[in-house]
């Protein structure tokens, strides 16, 4: 009887740990239920851009950036780039001049009230080429 109880407790603990590791639909190394495009996109392409993100660090503007649903983007300090969602809160990017990196720990939201859309976005840039920096971004609708 004691062995059955111990086995049940062990199974329960493993189930709880597996559930906690999967909160928010995220699995280790996998893409979660966050569709980065739908939440943080700024148009389908540069031709249809309707907004951008103004990103600051320490109260100063670091760059503006736009992510387009076709997997491209534009950044004020690095130019055109391509991007791909690679994890639950992660996006890899590569610029036209072959600078590369990742945005990780992406969090934020976008909401619309009437005809006005507003939002905030925070993320950490990890890049050997462009440096490591954490930014807080504000949605700017055109």
Query: Same structural domain for residues 65 and 13?
Result: no
In 3-state terms, what secondary structure has residue 18? Answer: helix
Query: Same structural domain for residues 120 and 106?
Result: yes
**CATH number, domain containing residue 51:** 2.40.128
Query: Same structural domain for residues 63 and 93?
Result: yes
- Angle at CA 21, nearest 5°, toward 15 and 22? 90
Query: Same structural domain for residues 21 and 35?
Result: no
Matching residue, tokens 């992510």: 67
| Cα(131)–Cα(121) distance, integer angstroms | 19
Query: Same structural domain for residues 98 and 132?
Result: yes
pLDDT (tens digit per residue) in 79-101: 999 999 998 899 999 999 999 99
Query: Same structural domain for residues 3 and 37?
Result: no
Query: Same structural domain for residues 4 and 49?
Result: no
Furthest CA-CA distance within the chain? 69
Read off the pTM.
Answer: 0.75
pLDDT at residue 8, rounded to an integer = 43
61 alpha carbon, distance to own chain's centre: 19
pLDDT at residue 49, rounded to an integer = 95
| Cα(26)–Cα(103) distance, integer angstroms | 17
For residue 61, give both structure tokens: 């503007």
**Low-confidence residues of the chain: pLDDT under 70:** 1-31, 33
59: Cα within 13 Å, side-chain hemisphere: 0
Q: How many domains does the chain have?
A: 2
Query: Same structural domain for residues 67 and 25?
Result: no
Residue 9 lies in domain: 1-29
pLDDT (tens digit per residue) in 45-62: 999 999 999 999 999 999
């Amino acid at each position: 009887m004691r062995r059955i109880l111990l086995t049940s407790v062990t199974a329960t603990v493993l189930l709880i740990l597996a559930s906690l590791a999967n909160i928010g639909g995220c699995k280790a190394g996998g893409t979660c239920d966050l569709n980065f495009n739908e939440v943080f996109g700024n148009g389908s392409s540069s031709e249809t851009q309707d907004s951008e993100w103004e990103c600051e660090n320490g109260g100063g503007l670091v760059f503006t950036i736009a992510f387009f649903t076709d997997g491209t983007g534009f950044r004020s300090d690095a130019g055109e780039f391509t991007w791909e969602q690679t994890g639950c809160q992660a996006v890899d990017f590569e610029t036209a001049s072959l600078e590369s990196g990742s945005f990780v720990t992406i969090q934020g939201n976008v909401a619309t009230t009437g005809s006005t859309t507003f939002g905030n976005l925070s993320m950490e840039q990890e890049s050997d080429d462009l440096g490591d920096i954490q930014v807080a971004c504000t949605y700017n609708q055109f």
